[in-house]
Amino acid sequence: MVGLKRHRVNVSNVSKGYIDVVEALSEVRGGLVTARPKTDESIRRMELPAFLARALKDHFSQTVGEYVFQSPHGGPIRAASFRRRYWVPAVEASVGRPCRIHDLRHTHVAWLIASGVDPKSIARRLGHTSVSVVLDVYGHLFEGHDRAVATKLDELHSRGSVHFLFTPPTADVVPMRAV
């Protein structure tokens, strides 16, 4: 996020806001370097929820500069400085340590899973190369979703919407009998 440039964010229509993730900012030997993200899957468009698009639009109306989040001098924020000056004091005043910036990404995923978002959509949103990464790292959060699946199947069945699941009887199909 420290490398996100304003022109990569579109919030002109807050109900259809998005961020284009096409570059990353890294610190190399004390200098800041902009480069392509690690993988092709990391290059993506992320749709924004309207509340976040409104917040960014408001932020843009009050700030100027190339970066969405910038240092007091207008350039990009160095991650270590942000952590020391803002993150650690905020964490200590609220949830307490340990809480890393990267934990926000994990929280985002946990919310998506709890809301029933499918693993493929989560993987794409995070820029992962494979859905298996999501399942390996966050698979434990999917436990308990089987009851919701069973409930949805009951709803479909009660509406008569699952007839396509049943194989029509033919001469070569032997019906099952209760034993």
98-108 residue pLDDT tens: 899 889 999 99
Quick check: 141 pLDDT over 60? yes
Neighbours of 15 (CB within 10 A): 9
68: which DSSP letter? S
- 2-6, 98-102, 143-147, 160-164: which range is least confident on average? 160-164
Distance CA 103, CA 90 (A): 14
Enumerate residues 6+ apart whose C-beta is below 8 A from 145: 116
Q: Which residue has the higher pLDDT, 179 or 92?
A: 92
User: From its phi and psi, is residue 97 left (phi > 0), alpha (psi between -120 and 50) or beta?
Assistant: beta
pLDDT of residue 113: 92
Average pLDDT of 13-42? 92
Q: What is the mean pLDDT of the chain?
A: 88
